[in-house]
Amino acid sequence: MSTFRPRFRPNRRALLQGTGALFAGLTFLPRFSMAEEEKKLNFYNWDTYIGENTLAEFTDATGIEVKMDLYADNDELFAKLKGGNPGYDVIVPTNDYLERMIKADMLIPLDHAKIPNMTNIDTLFQDAQFDPGRKYSIPYMWGTVGIGFRKSAVSATPDSWKVLLDSDEYAGAISLLGDQQTVLGAGLKYLGFSWNSTNADELKKVEDLLIAQKKNIKVFAPDNGQDLLAAGEVKLCEEWNGDIKQVMTEDDDIDYVVPKEGSLVWQDTMAVPKGAPHPENAMAFLNFILDAKEGAGIAETIQYATTNKAAKELMPDDYKNNPVIFPSPEVLVKCEPNLYLGEEAIKQRDQIWTRIRAS
For residue 148, the cross-strand partners are 237, 256
Quick: pLDDT tens for 17-29.
Answer: 333 333 333 444 4
Domain annotation for the chain: domains and CATH numbers: 19-142+266-320 (3.40.190.10), 143-265+327-358 (3.40.190.10)
Read off the amino acid at residue 158: P
Per-residue pLDDT at 72: 84
Measuring CA to CA, how many Å separate 22 from each of 19, 335, 338? 5, 35, 34
pLDDT of residue 225: 93
Query: In the beta sheet, which residues pair with residue 43?
Result: 68, 90
- Mean pLDDT, residues 230-248: 94
Q: Assess whether pLDDT exceeds 90 at residue 2.
A: no
pLDDT band of 12, cuts 50, 70, 90: very low
Residue 5 confidence (pLDDT) above 70: no
- Where is average pLDDT lowest: 4-18, 40-54, 328-342? 4-18
SS3 content of the chain, % helix, strand, coil (to 5): 40, 20, 40
pLDDT band (50, 70, 90) for residue 296: very high
CB 90 within 8 A of CB 269: no
* pLDDT for res 41: 98
Residues 6+ apart with CB under 8 A from 352: 180, 184, 203, 206, 207
* CB 145, CB 182: distance < 8 Å: yes
Higher local confidence (pLDDT), 149 or 338: 149
What's the mean pLDDT in 219-236? 93
The CA distance from 143 to 242, in Å, is 7
At residue 99, the pLDDT reads: 96
Per-residue pLDDT band for 223 (boundaries 50, 70, 90) equals low
Rg from Cα positions in the chain: 20
3-state secondary structure of 257: strand
Cβ-based neighbours of 205, under 8 Å, separated by 6 or more: 191
Average pLDDT over the chain reads 90
- How far apart, in whole angstroms, are the C-alpha atoms of residue 103 and residue 120? 27
Q: Quick one: which of 155, 325, 149, 159 has its CA closest to 225?
A: 149
Distance CA 219, CA 240 (A): 16
Q: Which residue has better confidence, 37 or 109?
A: 109
**Residue 95 DSSP label:** H
Q: What is the pLDDT of residue 293?
A: 97
Q: How confident is the model at residue 217 (pLDDT cuts 50, 70, 90)?
A: very high
At residue 314, does pLDDT exceed 50? yes
Confidence band (pLDDT; 50, 70, 90) for 209?
very high
Q: Which of 14-18, 45-49, 269-273 has the lowest mean pLDDT?
A: 14-18
> Residue 277 pLDDT more than 90?
yes
End-to-end CA distance of the chain: 19
* Range from 203-207, 259-263, 299-303 carrying the lowest mean pLDDT: 299-303
Q: Is residue 219 within 8 Å of 197, Cβ to Cβ?
A: no
Residue 35 confidence (pLDDT) above 60: no
CB 144 within 8 A of CB 336: no
